Amino acid sequence: MNRTIINIIVDVAAALLFLGMIATGYILRFTLLPGSNKAFSLWGLTRHQYGDIHFWISFGLLAVLVIHLMLHWKWIVTVIVKHYRGVQTSPPSLLYSGVLTLVIVTLTFMAFAWIVQHSIKQITRPAAFGNPFNEQTSSTSIVYSGNDDSELTFWKNIYPIFEKNCLPCHGPQKQYAGFRADRGENFFRNLGSKPLILPGQSDASPLIAIISGAREDMPMLDAHKLSEHEVLLLRAWIDSGAKWPASLPEK
């Protein structure tokens, strides 16, 4: 095939893949927001699936760029040699150019992968002054003391549950059913027969029935169901009085 035709095909493929990266990146950043995977889909695909597509498009773009470098390696080497040595040299063969390009890209990617794998760190949520709210806490030892440190404990252990699971659909950007989970008063005002949270009464609080999956008539039941550990934390918080600090940032 003519070299010019090959270059055109490679350039068109690179442009299409680049547009695909922009499109999937937009969907991940602005449409299917973090935490929305359980509740929403776009054209039959979830956020996680779009993340996979984004990855493979980027991988394909890398492969096309490698081919582009292979096709132009002779020119690149010739320009560099002329610039730094000022002498005429015969350009390397296409096979040599391709192998060298592939080796350089592979070694660079392997070095990046090694650095990433050895730089990852586990995020630990610090327990707030003796309140054992962390992932290692057993279901029988979760206690919310309600002491003077309860405000700090709320922001470190309770509010992040709402932020991660509820705000994508009930937050500053979207307010389905007119409800905002970042505003405490919404949990304590009457919604139908009674508020979502009854301080000191987790068993009677409708919120617990919703997030535990006990309320089977709840729309999008699976999307509202939280992990057992998160339910236990919220139970302990409600039983301690469900104090929502007045310093909640309104957005």
Domain extent listing, the chain: 3-119, 150-239
pLDDT of residue 137: 39
Distance CA 176, CA 94 (A): 59
Least reliable range by pLDDT among 49-58, 135-144, 189-198: 135-144
Residue 225 to residue 81: CA distance in whole angstroms: 63
Whether 135 has a pLDDT exceeding 60, the answer reads no
Question: What percent of the chain has pLDDT above 70?
Answer: 71
Question: How high does pLDDT run on average in the chain?
Answer: 76
Q: From CA 29, how far away is CA 20, in angstroms rounded?
A: 14
